[in-house]
Amino acid sequence: VKVTIKDISREAGVSIATVSRALNNKPRTSSKTRAKILSVAERLGYQPNAAARTLSRDKTDAIGVVFHQMTSGFYASVMTGIDLEAYTQGYHVLVTISKGSDPGHDAAQALARAMRVDGLIILDATFNDSALARLKESGRPIVVIQRALKDPQVSSVAPDNIGGARAAVRHLLSLGYRDLLLIAGPPAAEDSSLRMEGCRQALGEAGIDPRRVPCILGHYSSAEALKAFRAYCASQTLPRAVFAFNDDMALAVMKELRITGVKVPQQVAVVGFDDIDAADYMGLTTVRVPMIEMGQEAVRLLAARMADPSAPAKHVLKDATLVIRESCGGE
Amino acid sequence: VKVTIKDISREAGVSIATVSRALNNKPRTSSKTRAKILSVAERLGYQPNAAARTLSRDKTDAIGVVFHQMTSGFYASVMTGIDLEAYTQGYHVLVTISKGSDPGHDAAQALARAMRVDGLIILDATFNDSALARLKESGRPIVVIQRALKDPQVSSVAPDNIGGARAAVRHLLSLGYRDLLLIAGPPAAEDSSLRMEGCRQALGEAGIDPRRVPCILGHYSSAEALKAFRAYCASQTLPRAVFAFNDDMALAVMKELRITGVKVPQQVAVVGFDDIDAADYMGLTTVRVPMIEMGQEAVRLLAARMADPSAPAKHVLKDATLVIRESCGGE
DNA sequence: TTGTAGGCGTTATCAA
DNA sequence: TTGATAACGCCTACAA
């Protein structure tokens, strides 16, 4: 069940060089022999051996994706976009989920250095600058999702974190909420800082001192957020509105409120960020990030640099728009 | 930035054959030269070229995963398990999401035939028998998730669909619900049929004629389920309890009920299947399927057959247990 | 327009 | 214990 160009050449009565040329649409081949070769290849069910091709062309036609985790809805959606676009561009997709303390960085490096992929997409907020620097040494093009880099060698695609957060807080303020609680991501995460900046801007516009608005750390994790939220509620009065910097945390809070018998939004309004599928189920007002589009865009950016490594890196910002549902301001 | 065994051989003053042997821990090598070679390799940052290795060993050290979609929480979790175990077994993971009408079958075949992967995991309920038969011709081991096959050539890992559904219906009946509505998956999907069988058993035990229990088709899709549910409600009185054959559909129904002002579970109880993350947020009583474990098991089954293709295929059934939350019977 | 031959980086089979 | 050398399947000058 394994047919090579050798088989085709024998069957068609030509040399393997001619077969290779015909199969790759190289200019110098008579259309007659080419037709014959193609038909033979078809009949034999020929499939070029990827390894052999990689070895001789120095190109894998595959891209690698490094995840932090993928159960989070957000990642799954971005991945869908990546796969969609990779397919139309003719690339295969390899995935690696970061493991434990060593956040898959070395796995990623190995992927690139071992000639398994032509380029990498990083979908991992824990990927810091030094890890990125090491990865650049592999010499392969890289695209980072979710961080708005300025790096001239690494392309990036990110949502408009500032604008999105600003819109969310403006919405809360316009509804009259003043007693807010913010739930941020990891302090080191760039997108969390930007979302915080968006909050500051909106608060500033309304003449509120941002420093007087309480903020707890949820590390983008529902479990962490829940712990922090409970601790906060134990020592403070319940806020009138909560803005969590991602949906996972917002949904965890909503669940906690429901269980403890607090009505959303009548007693506490909740707003999230991302618009994962579960947000719709829960009727969570949130900032929609175009996840699938971001995945597609990342592949396009990567493809551009793989085609021409000397091309400058691009940095794309996607709009993030407020989606109003029942948890805050909806009907 | 590209170092090969040739570079190492030159640097260490030995032949490439010796280098290869040392690097692969082959028996006949003096421990002195081996140590030297290893240190040189380390110093030079050597990384074996995967393509060359594949060509020579006829082995890719990679497995392919064929998805139907991956936004569904269920798939994302299984994928996490797959990646986890693949990593510990030393395999790389390639993914392909089925596209449109041609459900990725040919993509999968190409993957296997092009020597990109050593084996395949199918995570796609739309993968029918004929597609599977074609895929078997690639000669690579295959593991199917979510279908309890009997095929002696194809391993499978599935949840106990009958037992899970039976437990769910028994629970509903034990709470006194008699006026049930079932929301099934696609008629062609094996797991949906099995869940239906589980319902029948539980109903039969209680002396209820299963044919008198209404059942609508949701095709495992929240949108489809919603449409069917609305149509049903328009022509019938609201049921007292709904058992949807997956969480996506159950959550869609819960959302619809909330929006229309129907209290869950006071007016209508809801039970789902799978226990995706969102189920916990929504407080949905459901049948937990060990998704991560299933992914891990699939890789183990695949690895076993890749190591020894003559080994018989195994068919593993995982327990599916009821998780009681607020949507039905919880506190 | 076609064929011959060398090379891509490894592994594996022989001799030495 | 080592070192030549022939695969593996494909691509691509260079010749014919």
Nearest nucleotide to the CA of B49, by C1', is C9
Asked if residue B28 keeps its beta carbon closer than 7 A to nucleic acid strand D, the reply is yes
Asked if residue A29 keeps its beta carbon closer than 7 A to nucleic acid strand C, the reply is yes
Q: Is the pLDDT of residue B1 over 80?
A: no
Asked if residue B59 keeps its beta carbon closer than 7 A to nucleic acid strand C, the reply is no
Nearest nucleotide to the CA of B4, by C1', is C9
Q: Is the pLDDT of residue A101 over 60?
A: no
B186 and B246 Cβ atoms separated by less than 8 Å? no
Q: Does A102 touch chain B (CB under 8 A)?
A: no
**Backbone phi, psi, residue B179, to 5°:** -90, 80
Amino acid found at A104 = G
Residue B40 is predicted with a pLDDT of: 96
Q: What is the pLDDT of residues B105-123, one digit of tens each?
A: 677 888 888 999 999 999 9
Label residue A174 by pLDDT band (50, 70, 90): very high
pLDDT, average across residues B72-85:
91
How far CA A166 is from CA of A197, A206, A245, B47, in Å, comes to 8, 11, 12, 47
Q: What is the pLDDT of residues A189-223, one digit of tens each?
A: 889 999 999 999 999 999 999 999 999 999 999 99
pLDDT, average across residues B239-261:
96
d(C-alpha B269, C-alpha B239), whole Å: 9
Partner residues linked to B322 by β-bridges: B287
Asked if residue A15 keeps its beta carbon closer than 7 A to nucleic acid strand C, the reply is yes
Residue B201 is predicted with a pLDDT of: 98
Residue A78 is predicted with a pLDDT of: 95
How many residues does this entry show for chain A? 331
Question: Which chain A residues are within 8 Å of B93, Cβ to Cβ?
Answer: 94-96
Label residue B299 by pLDDT band (50, 70, 90): very high
Tell me if B83 and A94 make a contact (CB, 8 A cut-off).
Answer: no
**End-to-end CA, chain A:** 62
Tell me if B71 and A77 make a contact (CB, 8 A cut-off).
Answer: yes
Label residue B134 by pLDDT band (50, 70, 90): confident
Residue B100 is predicted with a pLDDT of: 60
Q: Does B145 touch chain A (CB under 8 A)?
A: no
Q: Is the pLDDT of residue A325 over 80?
A: yes
Q: How many CA atoms lie within 13 A of A282 on its CB side?
A: 36
Residue A94 is predicted with a pLDDT of: 96
Residue A105 is predicted with a pLDDT of: 60
Question: Which chain A residues are within 8 Å of B77, Cβ to Cβ?
Answer: 71
Pairing of strands A119-123, A62-67: parallel
Q: Is the pLDDT of residue A160 over 90?
A: yes
B85, containing H or E segment: helix B74-89
- State pTM to two decimals: 0.93
Residue B113 is predicted with a pLDDT of: 87
The 3-state DSSP class for residue B281 equals: helix
**Which has the higher per-residue pLDDT, A71 or B171?**
B171
Beta carbons within 8 Å of B275's beta carbon, 6+ residues apart: B247, B286, B287, B288, B289, B291, B323
Q: In A, residues 43-62, which contact B (CB 8 Å cutoff)?
A: 45, 47-52, 54-55, 60, 62
**Which has the higher per-residue pLDDT, B90 or B107?**
B90
Q: Which of A79, A107, A115 sits opposite B70 (nearest CB)?
A: A79
Q: Is the pLDDT of residue A320 over 70?
A: yes
pLDDT, average across residues A239-268:
96
Partner residues linked to B326 by β-bridges: none
Pairing of strands B321-323, B285-288: antiparallel
Label residue B126 by pLDDT band (50, 70, 90): confident
Å between B282 CA and nearest CA of chain A:
7
pLDDT, average across residues A215-240:
95
Label residue A100 by pLDDT band (50, 70, 90): low
Give chain A's mean pLDDT.
92
Lowest mean pLDDT among A195-199, B96-100, B157-161: B96-100
Q: Is the pLDDT of residue A330 over 70?
A: yes
Q: What is the pLDDT of residues A38-51, one digit of tens each?
A: 999 999 999 999 99
Asked if residue A35 keeps its beta carbon closer than 7 A to nucleic acid strand C, the reply is no
d(C-alpha A253, C-alpha A262), whole Å: 11
Q: Is the pLDDT of residue A266 over 90?
A: yes
Q: Does B252 touch chain A (CB under 8 A)?
A: yes
Label residue A231 by pLDDT band (50, 70, 90): very high
Label residue B124 by pLDDT band (50, 70, 90): confident
**Which has the higher per-residue pLDDT, B229 or A149?**
B229
Asked if residue B4 keeps its beta carbon closer than 7 A to nucleic acid strand C, the reply is yes
Closest residue by Cα to residue A109 from A91, A136, A70, A82:
A136
pLDDT, average across residues B288-305:
97
Q: What is the pLDDT of residues A59-90, one digit of tens each?
A: 999 999 998 877 778 898 999 999 999 999 99
Tell me if A55 and B50 make a contact (CB, 8 A cut-off).
Answer: no
**End-to-end CA, chain B:** 62
Going along B155-279, which residue ranges are E strands?
A: 155-159, 180-184, 215-217, 241-244, 269-274
Q: How many CA atoms lie within 13 A of B124 on its CB side?
A: 27
Tell me if B70 and A51 make a contact (CB, 8 A cut-off).
Answer: no
Question: Which chain B residues are within 8 Å of A45, Cβ to Cβ?
Answer: 113
Asked if residue A25 keeps its beta carbon closer than 7 A to nucleic acid strand D, the reply is no
Label residue A299 by pLDDT band (50, 70, 90): very high
pLDDT, average across residues A94-106:
72
Label residue B280 by pLDDT band (50, 70, 90): very high
Q: Does A135 touch chain B (CB under 8 A)?
A: no
Residue B104 is predicted with a pLDDT of: 53
d(C-alpha A67, C-alpha A140), whole Å: 18
Share of chain A above pLDDT 70, in %: 98
How far CA A268 is from CA of A113, A208, A262, A328, in Å, comes to 51, 20, 7, 9
What strand order describes the sheet that includes B241-244? Answer: B215-217, B180-184, B241-244, B269-274, B285-288, B321-323
**Backbone phi, psi, residue B121, to 5°:** -115, 125
Label residue A1 by pLDDT band (50, 70, 90): confident
Q: Does A251 touch chain B (CB under 8 A)?
A: yes
Amino acid B51 CA to nucleotide D2 C1' distance, rounded Å: 26
Give chain B's mean pLDDT.
92
A40, containing H or E segment: helix A31-44
DSSP letters spanning B139-178: ---EEEES-----SSSEEEEE-HHHHHHHHHHHHHHTT--
**CA A191 and chain centroid, separation:** 12
Å between B189 CA and nearest CA of chain A:
23
pLDDT, average across residues A56-61:
96
Amino acid found at B100 = G
Residue B164 is predicted with a pLDDT of: 98
Q: What is the pLDDT of residues B313-325, one digit of tens each?
A: 999 999 999 999 9
Question: Which chain B residues are within 8 Å of A255, Cβ to Cβ?
Answer: 280-283
d(C-alpha B140, C-alpha B144), whole Å: 13
Asked if residue B139 keeps its beta carbon closer than 7 A to nucleic acid strand D, the reply is no
